[in-house]
Amino acid sequence: MADRYLSLTGTAPGRFLTRRLGLPQPAGLRRWSLERPALDGSLLHLTAGTSALDLAPVLDRTGLTPAGDAPAAIVLDATGVRDVDALGEVHAALHPVVRSVAASGRVVVLGAPLDAADHHQAAAQQALEGFTRSLGKEIGRGRTVNLVRLTDAAAAESTLRFLLSPKSAYVSGQVIEVGAQEPTAPEDWERPLTGRTALVTGAARGIGEAVAETLARDGAHVVVLDVPSAEEDARAVAARLGGTALTLDITAADAGARIAHALPDGLDVLIHNAGVTRDRRLVNMTADRWSSVLEVNLASVLRTTDALLAAGTLRPGGRIVATASIAGLAGNAGQTNYGASKAGVVGLVRSLAPRALAEHRITVNAVAPGFIETRMTAAIPLFLREAGRRMNSLAQGGLPVDVAETTAWLAHPASGAVNGQVVRVCGQSLLGA
């Protein structure tokens, strides 16, 4: 359903009226397209404190020019900030220039891991989180602000390319930790998944379909998995993408074994997207409404992941990306079952990620969508729908492609240093942390 309020604020009378009434003024977001794959403008590289990062080679490959009057993006290297005095350099660096960032531009602050042996460094680096989240809520005009904690610039290249591109339009206020694993650079950064097989559950429609489309755009052979009742749609999506359709009940005890049997040559990317809602307040929620949501959204994810890892179906260098939700992080009235299932996904990611990397060389991450414009949200009553759209720093709903682009970044072969992360795709929702 079209966001008429967003369209209104894109007109001169609409801007005047909403400004006078003190209403939100969302800006149309610049998203990736084949014709305009990069942000338009320059990249301003600033430093606070003393840094040892060799950023220049990575930043040179983002597609942004190194100089210009109105920067499309700012990268502030604050990895060397170790005390309160050095935090003043963060203010001094950004204060004069932040207003000049172009609409739909990017601010990326680079921080260091917290040093458990130096509480002054830990305090200063943790301060960067409050700073970036706060700046994201005030910067406006469709611009985003994110914090990346890293120790090696090369390991963070896929992350910086993503955050400094139109692909990250609805990702803001996030703190992303990047390890120091040696990156696996693809032969072609435009089609990094060439030669790889990706399976997406719940891919016949909605967000799952967008994920399948994006992974196929990036070169993957996509297996479109959905329930038997959606077989016609699944086959249509697979045919359009040059992929393969696979229909089965993901909650069946043998679902993992059937997937492994259907993929004898193995799998590189596993996307757990299938999910359901059965909303009721707890006092009115029947046991079957509770169990059906937990079974689809969490139990099937656990069983299928375990089965595919045990069978060796997921190849070394593989990626697992599960779909959580801000309802699992912040809670939502009427969704105790859904919130529990999605919080469970977060627990799965945080526990499995280090072991899967050590034992199988596979990363495990999650995306946590906020208000995404789908057929489900279009059915929400008007006033609740408008509240959902406006209650984030970008003052609008996201699109399925926003979740898909974030998923594709986590599935990227060069994202091996990104592990155990839960990245919200919510426009920096005002709900939750």
Give me the pLDDT at residue 410, please.
Answer: 98
Give me the pLDDT at residue 387, please.
Answer: 83
DSSP string computed for 29-61: -----SS--S-SSEEEEEEEE------HHHHHT
Give me the pLDDT at residue 70, please.
Answer: 84
DSSP string computed for 261-311: HH-TT-EEEEEE-------B-GGG--HHHHHHHHIIIIIHHHHHHHHHHHH
Ordered structural domains, the chain, with CATH: 31-177 (3.40.50.720), 197-425 (3.40.50.720)
Mean pLDDT throughout 20-31?
Answer: 91
For residue 192, count other CB atoms closer than 10 A to its CB. Answer: 23
List, by residue number, the catalytic residues.
338
* Average per-residue pLDDT for the chain: 95
Between 204 and 375, residue with greater pLDDT: 204
Q: Using one digit for the tens of pLDDT, what is the confidence trace for 122-175?
A: 999 999 999 999 999 999 999 999 999 999 999 999 999 999 999 999 999 999
302: pLDDT confidence band, cut at 50, 70 and 90? very high
Closest CA to 302 of 256, 361, 249: 256
Give me the pLDDT at residue 362, please.
Answer: 98
Q: What are phi and psi of 317, to 5 degrees?
A: 85, 5
Mean pLDDT throughout 264-282?
Answer: 97
* Percentage above 90 pLDDT, the chain: 87
Closest CA to 126 of 136, 139, 116: 116
Inter-residue contact 63 to 38 (CB < 8 Å):
yes
Give me the pLDDT at residue 432, please.
Answer: 65
Q: Using one digit for the tens of pLDDT, what is the confidence trace for 90-108?
A: 999 999 999 999 999 999 9
Rg (the chain; Cα; Å): 21
Give me the pLDDT at residue 68, please.
Answer: 67
Alpha-carbon distance of 162 to 188, in angstroms, equals: 15
Mean pLDDT throughout 21-49?
Answer: 94
For residue 357, count other CB atoms closer than 10 A to its CB. Answer: 18
Q: What are phi and psi of 12, to 5 degrees?
A: -60, -45
Mean pLDDT throughout 300-326?
Answer: 98
Give me the pLDDT at residue 69, please.
Answer: 72
- Order of strands, edge to edge, in the sheet holding 422-425? 244-247, 221-226, 197-201, 267-272, 314-323, 363-369, 422-425
Both tokens assigned to 206:
């909605």
Give me the pLDDT at residue 257, please.
Answer: 97
Give me the pLDDT at residue 49, please.
Answer: 94
The residues with which 108 forms a beta bridge, in sequence order, are: 75, 146
pLDDT over 70 (residue 299): yes
